[in-house]
Amino acid sequence: MNDRPFHIARVDVDDPRAVSLRRILDADLDERYRDADADDTPEIAAKRAAALAVHPEQVVATLLAMDADGAPLGHVILRRLGHEWELKRLVVVAAARRRGVGRKLTAEVLDLARREGARRVILQSGRMQPESLELYAASGFTPIPVYEPYAETMPRSLCFEYVM
């Protein structure tokens, strides 16, 4: 494991580094789920895109992990989804994996949500993301039924909660 230091910083949701990391995540997810989504109608594809989109008015915090040079290593969002708190858009760049970046970002989101009064944090993932599923389980998340806005367009999602 590479143990070079990194730090977590809170940034605006439209910070160019955050936007860039979300594009990396989108490309990775498009590749992983390409075959699973091949038979979708344009209507379902549009609804899925809306469900997965970052809605700035819902974002409570956007966190970046950065190395000592300021290069972004990872990203996560904490958002309000109605009355729920949701961990969203967690990504770690390939070169920074196995350094604890994902664990630290997850822990920071949970701590922030706890300080803001959350009773639980939920998240949506999928079977084609085994490393994410492993991280969530190791962080204490447990399975829950698929919730909206994912139930209609991604009914085979794997969803989880962390109870404070």
To 10 degrees, what angle do helices 130-138 and 101-115 make?
A: 50
Strands 72-81 and 6-11: unpaired
pTM above the 0.85 mark?
Answer: yes
Q: Tens digits of per-residue pLDDT, 84-100? A: 999 999 999 999 998 99
Q: Which of 164, 158, 153, 126 is CA-nearest to residue 49?
A: 153
User: pLDDT confidence of 40, banded at 50, 70, 90?
Assistant: confident
Lowest mean pLDDT among 14-18, 43-47, 114-118, 154-158: 43-47
- Domains of the chain (ranges, CATH numbers): 6-118 (3.40.630.30)
Q: Which of 126, 139, 120, 6 is CA-nearest to residue 63?
A: 6
CA distance 55 to 22: 13
- pLDDT of 37 higher than 80: no
